Amino acid sequence: MQNQRLERLNGPTLSMQTIGQLDQQFVWHPFTQMREWMQREPIVITRAEGATLEDSRGRKYLDANSSIWTNLHGHNRPEINEAISAQLHKVAHSSTLGLANEPATMLGAELIRAANPSSLSVPGTNPQPALSRVFYSDDGSTAIEVALKLAYEFSRRTRQLKRPKFLSLQGAYHGDTIGAVSLGHIHLFHRYYHGLLFRTDTVMTPYCYRCPFNRAQPERADARAYRKCNWECVDKVAQQFERRRRVAQDDYAALVVEPLIQGAAGMIPQPAGWLRKVAEIARAHQSLLISDEVLTGFGRARQPSTGQPHLFASHAEDVQPDLMTLAKGLTGGYLPMAATLASQPIFDAFLGDYADFRTFFHGHSYNGNQLGTAAALASLRILETPESILQRANLAAGLETFTRELWQSSYIGDIRQVGTIVGIELVKNWPTRTPFELKERAGIRVCEAMARRGVLTRPIGNVVVLMPPYCTTPEQVRTIVESLKESVCEIFGPPV
Ligand SMILES: *Cc1c(COP(=O)(O)O)cnc(C)c1O
């Protein structure tokens, strides 16, 4: 039977229904209970244009989470298609081990320029070094591994830390490779791999909506706006650094954060000022700051209130990290490609004579791949056009306007937005903030109901994520939000 199927693969008339069946038979999907997957015919995507995905039956869907947060400008974007196609006719891949190539070099220069905007003031007694080098890899997880290894070795070499240790945030997600998982604190994903991980410390994340220090009663607004607290979350970070110094007579090698908003933790945005404050604490302890901008980079997390078209979230708070990781949106959502940006002092710590063996011994086969870097260059050029800047601002404004209506539902507890990213937290009853239990699958059920209405996104537990491509029109934003509203009614009942 398997052989028959495989033979048919070579035939000219493979129906799309067969693709669904073959997928169910052969492909193992990520973060997916495959028993459930195998019971239901999958949606088979065959083409896409702008914010719309089309399946094998000709049904169209709005891509409300930008194909798992990767796509920026929309699908089938002519400039990126052409850049890849032009590069393809020259060379698809040659190694960066011992060789240079044009698009990887050009992208390196452009990324360093974009990552050091002149608007960035660098004040204070603890100077923030510029980012000056780009190390390529393939995915967000590998970008994090690179940052971890650089920070580890940098702190051993320059600060004589014996066992450099990392500090990351509650609920953090930085990828699925073992180093990245070690920084992660999502029990559901990470618990089975404990034995494989190195030890890291964790510290409170500012989750205003569910913060034990927030004394405000729930209101129909983003919890950050009406919170009542004394920045206890920042004190916790300071205390954790002091404890490390006291107990281990050591400082952290690095503090690892997602700037402005933690993504996979549940779209948890930070109150304005938090990043700046914790960056200063880390610097005061000579700790490196690793900004994981895999989700937030490339204009995703633009703060509507500042009006500055920052490409990177860290810069919205005037913070320049020592290491910055980029992936998801780097190629506009086209190809697997990542970059770790490093400061000059970190780069310098790996310089020496050959026989000193201070080399950074790390590198993946597709490092600096020409197709990926060509796509990334084209994407970066689009991002810096006035049209794209305006598009992002309009999308952020549209999301804010249309999601406002959702406060009418008693099953929506928090609507939190950073730039073009929105997290909508479903609750049993908003005045009590009572969460659904994970096994009730509240988020999954709502997203399935949205899919039936032609809108695709994936929840994080009870949080429905809306972050469509920048090209999404106001009409399409309205459709996305309407489908969410109707789906919440369908699953839980009308507003009460
Ligand atoms: C997705 C993500 C990663 C991991 O990236 P992959 O490309 O999936 O390996 C790391 N950090 C953040 C913040 C992410 O959102």
Nearest CA to ligand 1 atom 5: 140
Residue 191: pLDDT band by 50, 70, 90 thresholds?
A: confident
Whether residue 367 contacts residue 284, with contact meaning beta carbons closer than 8 Å, is answered with: no
Domain membership flag for residue 424? yes
pLDDT tens for each residue of 29-82: 999 999 999 999 999 999 999 999 999 999 999 999 999 999 999 999 999 999
189 shares a domain with 245: yes
- Here the tokens at position 138 are 């393939």
Residue 382: pLDDT band by 50, 70, 90 thresholds?
A: very high
Which ligand 1 atom is nearest residue 336's CA? 7
Residue 122: pLDDT band by 50, 70, 90 thresholds?
A: low
Comparing C-alpha atoms, which of 361, 299, 364, 360 is closest to residue 326?
299
139 shares a domain with 280: yes
The preferred substitution site among 294, 325, 337 for testing ligand 1, maximizing ligand atoms within 8 Å of CB, is 294
217 shares a domain with 161: yes
User: Is the whole-model pTM more than 0.75?
Assistant: yes
Q: Of 384, 418, 444, which residue is a domain's last?
A: 384
CA of 294 relative to ligand 1 center, distance in Å: 6
Domain count, the chain: 2
CA of 486 relative to ligand 1 center, distance in Å: 31
Domain membership flag for residue 392? yes
CA of 460 relative to ligand 1 center, distance in Å: 14
CA of 141 relative to ligand 1 center, distance in Å: 6
CATH of residue 443's domain is 3.90.1150.10
Domain membership flag for residue 115? yes
Residue-range definition of the domain harbouring residue 399 = 43-76+387-492
Which ligand 1 atom is nearest residue 139's CA? 7
What angle in degrees, to the nearest 10, is found between the helix axes of 474-492 and 442-452?
A: 130
Domain membership flag for residue 23? no
Q: Percent of the chain having pLDDT more than 90?
A: 88
Whether residue 267 contacts residue 422, with contact meaning beta carbons closer than 8 Å, is answered with: yes
Residue 39, Cβ neighbours under 10 Å: how many? 9
pLDDT above 70 (res 123): no
CA of 57 relative to ligand 1 center, distance in Å: 31
Which distant-in-sequence residues (6+ apart) come within 8 Å of 425 by Cβ? 209, 266, 412, 413, 414, 415, 416, 462, 463
Ligand 1, pocket residues at CB < 6 Å = 139-141, 144, 174-175, 258, 263-264, 292, 294-295, 327-328
Domain membership flag for residue 52? yes
What pLDDT, on the 0 to 100 scale, is given for residue 494? 81
Nearest CA to ligand 1 atom 11: 174
296 shares a domain with 163: yes
Q: Of 325, 359, 384, which residue is a domain's last?
A: 384
Left, alpha or beta for 128 (phi > 0: left; psi -120 to 50: alpha)? beta
Cα 477 from Cα 470, distance rounded (Å): 11
254 shares a domain with 192: yes
Which ligand 1 atom is nearest residue 140's CA? 5
CA of 377 relative to ligand 1 center, distance in Å: 20
What pLDDT, on the 0 to 100 scale, is given for residue 205? 97
Which distant-in-sequence residues (6+ apart) come within 8 Å of 288 by Cβ? 151, 154, 155, 253, 254, 255, 282, 321, 322, 323, 346
CA of 217 relative to ligand 1 center, distance in Å: 34
289 shares a domain with 259: yes
291 shares a domain with 361: yes
Which ligand 1 atom is nearest residue 262's CA? 13
Check the CA dihedral 177-181-186-191 and report its sign.
positive
CA of 153 relative to ligand 1 center, distance in Å: 23
Largest pairwise CA distance in the chain? 72
pLDDT above 80 (res 466): yes
Give the CA dihedral 314, 319, 322, 327, nearest 10 degrees.
10
Which ligand 1 atom is nearest residue 338's CA? 7
What pLDDT, on the 0 to 100 scale, is given for residue 12? 46
Element housing 153 (H / E): helix 140-159
The residue-averaged pLDDT of 365-371 equals 98
CATH of residue 141's domain is 3.40.640.10
453 shares a domain with 315: no
Which of 157-171, 325-339, 380-394 reaches the highest mean pLDDT?
A: 325-339
- Here the tokens at position 188 are 């559901």
Q: What would the DSSP string read from start to end of 57-116?
A: TS-EEEETTHHHHT-SS-BS-HHHHHHHHHHHTT-S---SSS---HHHHHHHHHHHHHTS
Nearest CA to ligand 1 atom 10: 174
**C-alpha dist (Å) from residue 117 to 21, 301, 309, 310, 326:** 50, 16, 11, 8, 16
399 shares a domain with 266: no
Report the DSSP beta bridge partners of residue 422. Answer: 417, 466
Which ligand 1 atom is nearest residue 258's CA? 13
466 shares a domain with 318: no
The preferred substitution site among 169, 173, 335 for testing ligand 1, maximizing ligand atoms within 8 Å of CB, is 173
Comparing C-alpha atoms, which of 175, 457, 185 is closest to residue 338?
175
Domain membership flag for residue 18? no
Q: Give the angle subtended at the CA of 306 by the CAs of 304 and 307, to the nearest 5°.
A: 70
Q: Percent of the chain having pLDDT more than 70?
A: 94
CA of 137 relative to ligand 1 center, distance in Å: 13
pLDDT tens for each residue of 219-241: 999 999 999 999 999 999 999 99
Domain membership flag for residue 34? no
Domain membership flag for residue 107? yes
Comparing C-alpha atoms, which of 328, 245, 303, 313 is closest to residue 279?
313
Cα 290 from Cα 343, distance rounded (Å): 11
pLDDT tens for each residue of 407-450: 999 999 999 999 999 999 999 999 999 999 999 999 999 999 99
Nearest CA to ligand 1 atom 15: 295
CA of 95 relative to ligand 1 center, distance in Å: 24
pLDDT tens for each residue of 307-356: 556 799 999 999 999 999 999 999 999 999 999 999 999 999 999 999 99
Residue for token pair 């506009």: 332
412 shares a domain with 289: no
Which ligand 1 atom is nearest residue 293's CA? 13
Whether residue 152 contacts residue 253, with contact meaning beta carbons closer than 8 Å, is answered with: yes
Comparing C-alpha atoms, which of 62, 58, 60 is closest to residue 71?
62
Q: Of 367, 384, 401, which residue is a domain's last?
A: 384
CA of 255 relative to ligand 1 center, distance in Å: 17
The preferred substitution site among 257, 328, 465 for testing ligand 1, maximizing ligand atoms within 8 Å of CB, is 328
CA of 354 relative to ligand 1 center, distance in Å: 34
pLDDT above 50 (res 125): no
Element housing 291 (H / E): strand 288-292
459 shares a domain with 361: no
Which ligand 1 atom is nearest residue 328's CA? 7
CA of 257 relative to ligand 1 center, distance in Å: 12
Whether residue 219 contacts residue 226, with contact meaning beta carbons closer than 8 Å, is answered with: yes
Whether residue 140 contacts residue 175, with contact meaning beta carbons closer than 8 Å, is answered with: yes
